[in-house]
């Protein structure tokens, strides 16, 4: 575990202890299960967002993906009565396609990730509203017991969303930290030109990050649809990308690219949900949730800048020491 991740773990424990002291309900089984469910729900797509941020990009269209994939998923399941395994594959596949489109526009047409994903945010939300004529769609009285249990049930008291989050986190940990692709991803985010000159196909690597993010967004869309029991195309998933960005930045992913870890993103997601839980337990208006997220993102950026300055100063000091040493040797 990196020092940054260890420090974040300590912060999670401290904030958790403070929250417990302020309101012991925090450690109640009901609250812990509910929080585990939310950690799983938000954590899956936060990992995808983190991978994109590591490349030096950003993904702003996640919430709109949830709306569009959600209405199509429910429509195919309820109105077209397709087999649920097929519908699940369609939903995840749609996310993968959206990610591939973003990756193509960013890497092949050299468009800015901010512009590409901002356009995606508007386009996907608009299509979702047109598709449903702004009407809310729900599951009705359909027989989806198996899928409902898989998406929102529990095993040994643990929400399936949290179990899925742990599985995704373990797989992505191996991908990012134990594979050649992960090293290439970090290198491309740190310095894309240098990585390209060293023989790394940066276009494929960066596009793959957007595709992974899209697939994880598609998976989350399924969980979220069952969590809310219905999908309102005008509001479903609105601003959820902010949660993912906040969790990734809080977890140590630098918006400059080239830095980040899966452990950090996991801890960032947990800390963010503890802070949200603290707001609720203290009776603070939920309208301040966005203020909490904004503060978290700002604190993460300021911390990143401070660390960058410290590293730059350390490198400069080492270079001066080498110059002095070589002069003395001469």
**pLDDT digit string (tens) for the chain, length 330 residues:** 677 778 788 888 888 888 888 888 888 899 899 999 999 999 999 999 999 999 999 999 999 999 999 999 999 999 888 899 999 999 999 999 999 999 999 999 999 999 999 999 999 999 999 999 999 998 877 777 888 898 888 998 899 999 999 999 999 999 999 999 999 999 999 998 999 999 999 999 999 999 999 999 999 999 999 999 889 999 998 889 988 998 898 888 888 888 889 999 999 999 888 888 887 777 777 677 777 767 777 776 777 677 777 777 777 777 777 766 766 665
Q: Residue 157 carries which DSSP code?
A: T
Q: How far is CA 231 from CA 67, 70, 224, in A?
A: 7, 6, 9
Q: What CATH topology corresponds to 3-287?
A: ABC transporter involved in vitamin B12 uptake, BtuC (1.10.3470)
The token pair that represents 34 in the structure block = 């509910």
**Please, which contacts does 190-199 make with residues 24 or more away whose CB atoms are closer than 8 Å?**
190/257, 190/258, 190/259, 191/258, 192/56
The token pair that represents 234 in the structure block = 């005008």
Rounded Cα–Cα distance for residues 103 and 55 (Å): 11
The angle at the Cα of 191, spanning 186 to 197, to the nearest 5 degrees, equals: 105
What's the burial of 287, exposed, middle or buried (CB within 10 Å: 0-12/13-18/19+)? exposed
């Amino acid at each position: 575990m990196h020092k940054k991740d260890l420090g974040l773990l300590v912060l999670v424990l401290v904030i958790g202890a403070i929250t417990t002291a302020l309101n012991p309900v925090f450690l109640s089984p009901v609250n812990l299960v509910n929080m585990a469910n939310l950690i799983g729900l938000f954590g899956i797509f936060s990992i995808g967002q983190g991978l994109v941020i590591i490349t030096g990009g950003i993904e702003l269209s996640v919430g709109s993906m949830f709306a569009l994939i959600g209405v199509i998923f429910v429509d195919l399941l309820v109105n077209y009565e397709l087999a649920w395994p097929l519908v699940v594959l369609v939903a995840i596949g749609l996310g993968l396609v959206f990610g591939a489109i973003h990756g193509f526009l960013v890497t092949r047409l050299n468009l800015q990730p901010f512009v590409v994903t901002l356009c995606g945010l508007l386009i996907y939300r608009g299509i979702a509203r047109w598709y449903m004529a702004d009407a809310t769609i729900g599951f009705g009285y359909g027989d989806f017991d198996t899928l409902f249990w898989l998406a929102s049930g529990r095993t040994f008291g643990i929400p399936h969303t949290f179990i899925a989050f742990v599985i995704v986190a373990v797989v992505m940990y191996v991908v990012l930290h134990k594979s050649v692709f992960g090293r290439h991803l970090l290198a491309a985010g740190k310095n894309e030109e240098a990585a390209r000159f060293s023989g790394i196909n940066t276009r494929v690597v960066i596009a793959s990050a957007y595709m992974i993010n899209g697939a994880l967004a598609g998976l989350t869309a399924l969980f979220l649809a069952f969590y809310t029991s219905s999908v309102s195309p005008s509001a479903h998933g609105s601003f959820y990308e902010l949660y993912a960005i906040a969790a990734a930045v809080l977890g140590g992913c630098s918006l400059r690219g080239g830095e980040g870890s899966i452990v950090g993103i996991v801890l960032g997601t947990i800390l963010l949900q503890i802070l949200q839980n603290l707001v609720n337990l203290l009776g603070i208006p939920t309208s301040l949730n966005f203020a909490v997220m904004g503060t978290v993102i700002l604190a993460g950026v300021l911390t990143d800048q401070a660390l960058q300055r410290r590293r730059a100063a350390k490198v400069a000091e080492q270079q001066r020491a080498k110059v002095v040493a070589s002069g003395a040797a001469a």
